[in-house]
Amino acid sequence: MVHVSQTVPKVGNGNDAGVLDAFLKGDANTVFSHFQSQDHQPLMLAWAPDKDILPNMMMQRFYEAWSEMPGHDENAVPNVDDFDVFKFRAAMGFMVYMDVIDDGNDFQFRVFGSRIVDIIGFDWTGRLVSDLPASPSCRAYLLTCYRAILQCKKPLYTKHRLRKADAAVDWERFLVPLGDASASVSRILGLSIPILVSPEYGQGDHSSFSF
């Protein structure tokens, strides 16, 4: 685990060019210290990881389904028109699917998985990431993740912790880009899978989801 600063930084809406550049470079120390707060802690960041290091079978199969989508050349982003939800059906409960709004100024949820809704208690389908009822550091972190994908055009694996008074939840996320006819990233598809952590962080039972 990467150790992060205990200083709580001021974060805005995720438009800080310096931290976005750090995200693109995979500079985890800079990213983690920037977005840490009392109730939010980034834990992992990996661009285009090997499939086998992903933490569960659901993510691995999700990665396979995205990788098998047709592309125009080796480095092409799969086209959104080739997205077949049937091939991703086993992961639907934990899936997020977002439109890029105003060149990445914001992102709007087309799909907000039902299992995520069950866990957090609200459905954000049709709503904007910038309006999520989350801490400023968490919301800015999410926006920066998505903006980095627009530029990098690669899959991204992240893990971050949301703390509450009596427990914490680690969210493991795997995000992939989908492009349009101009080869720009027009949508982001992903999985967001929770792991409950006990108050004794690391000593309690951990559970993840697979199929």
Domain containing residue 136: 17-197
CA angle 20/98/14 to nearest 5° reads: 25
Which pLDDT does position 10 carry in this prediction?
38
Is 185 contained in some domain? yes
Is 202 contained in some domain? no
Which pLDDT does position 171 carry in this prediction?
95
Tens digit of pLDDT for each residue in 105-151? 999 999 999 999 988 889 999 999 999 998 899 999 999 999 999 99
Tens digit of pLDDT for each residue in 158-202? 999 998 766 788 999 999 999 988 878 999 999 999 988 765 544
Domain count, the chain: 1
CATH number at residue 149: 3.30.450.20
Mean pLDDT of 19-30: 95
- In b/e form, how buried is each residue of 37-53, taking b as 16+ CB within 10 angstroms? bebbbbbbbbbebeeee
Is 56 contained in some domain? yes
Q: Edge-to-edge strands of the sheet including 156-163?
A: 40-47, 156-163, 168-179, 185-197, 95-101, 106-112
- In b/e form, how buried is each residue of 135-168, taking b as 16+ CB within 10 angstroms? bebbbbbbbbbbbbbbebbbbbbbbbbbbeeeeb
Is 210 contained in some domain? no
Tens digit of pLDDT for each residue in 70-101? 865 556 799 999 999 999 988 999 999 999 99
Is 209 contained in some domain? no
- This prediction has a pTM of 0.85
Is 127 contained in some domain? yes
Is 9 contained in some domain? no
